[in-house]
Structures are given as structure tokens and as C-alpha cells.
Structure 1
Amino acid sequence: MCINKNEVGKLYITGYDARQISEILCVNVESVRKCIQRNYSHFRNRHQEALRERKDSIKAINYECNRFISDKSFVQKNRSIYKTKENGDIVLNEDLGYIFTADTPRRLNNEFKGCY
């Protein structure tokens, strides 16, 4: 399978790591790493800066989303889309076929593990 070096470069400079790029482009992660190493290692500073910006924006979005309703309250109000694991953790049931927004809590950990 051929890898598109230009797409890898664009995604790398915008702050995506090799694993994320491989998932987006549907190619082997080692191929992406080698492409970055050979062609785009001189953009490492730009990559690090863009990565920080992406993380900050995700953090700000999560903060805004959780200001109005906490993850625990959301899970309690929408129990039909979650399933409980054996260890007590509540996880999003993605087998239902629904489309979930990015701010939908994926997991609620059991607060009382080992307290029994």
C-alpha cells in the first residue's frame, strides 16, 4: 500500500501523532513513523506547538461541556446507552448503533472498587 507523504506531512504539522495519522489514512503506523522520520523530522517544533494547541482546545471544550452537567449526572440521566462491566465501571454501549457526540462521556469509573 502506498502512503501519501503530503497528507502525512499536513497531519503531522497540525499536531497529530503517528498512531492518529495511521488511523486517519488507514496505513501501517510504522510506515507513518518512518515517513515522518525521513521527511518531516525538521518540523518537530511546529508539530509540538500544534500538539499543545490541540490539547489546550480539547481541554477547553471539555471544560465548557462539563460546566453545565457532570459526567456522572449525564450517565444517570441516560442509563439506556450505557452498560455496566463486571468491575462496576459504566461504559458507553457503542453496539447500539447510535452516533455519539464527542462530549458524550465514554466511561464512568466505579468509585467504590475494593471497598466491599
Structure 2
Amino acid sequence: MSNLPETPIVELVVYKIKQSMQATYVNTSIEEFREFVMSFEGCISYEFYKCMGEPNVFMDIVKWETLELAEKAARRVKIYQKRPEFSAYLASFETVDIFNHFNLQKSWKQN
């Protein structure tokens, strides 16, 4: 049994965007997708990062209230991604290297 307070589920996605699609992805596609994901029940926050060492590598950190709500959203996203409005978003991806959910086990902070 953990002594940690209840913490959100962290969804970690690490992926590579095609260089030719990077500007569109960063300036338009990710914003539209973020708004879409954040409309789902249980979404707490969405953070978007760019790798400092590899310019086409990005990371999303999405926090969810529960694993069940995160998984429900992921199933809905797979269905919605077949729609034409997501074609530019999907065409941007070269690879998805990590897509998984995590829960906090331990945490340390500087005093």
C-alpha cells in the first residue's frame, strides 16, 4: 500500500515527426489535437515538448484522472483518427516510440 496521495495517471507519448511536416505539426496540428484530447472526460492537462538534441522528436505528457478514462479516450481517438480532418495530423508521424500510462511510485524534491 502506497503512502502517496492519489495522483493522476501520466500518459507519455514520444514520437518523431517527418521533417517536411514539422512546421504544420507544431503550428497547427498539435493544437487541434490537444483541444480534441482535452475535451474528453478525465483529461487534466496536456503538455507538448520538443527534444533539444533531435529536432524532429517530440513528447506529449497528458495527465488523466484515472487509467480507465485515459484508456477510454485512447480508444475514441483511434476511431476519430480515421476521419478526414485528422489526415494532416496522422501524415505528420514518422514513428511513435513510446505510448504508455504511468502512475507515480515515489517523488523527491529539493528542500
Please indicate, yes or no, whether the TM-score normalized by the shorter chain is above 0.5: no
Higher relative contact order (CA 8 A, sep 6+): 2
Structure with greater proportional strand content: 2
TM-score, scaled relative to structure 2: 0.27
Give the structure-1-normalised TM-score: 0.27
| Larger helix percent | 1
Larger radius of gyration: 1
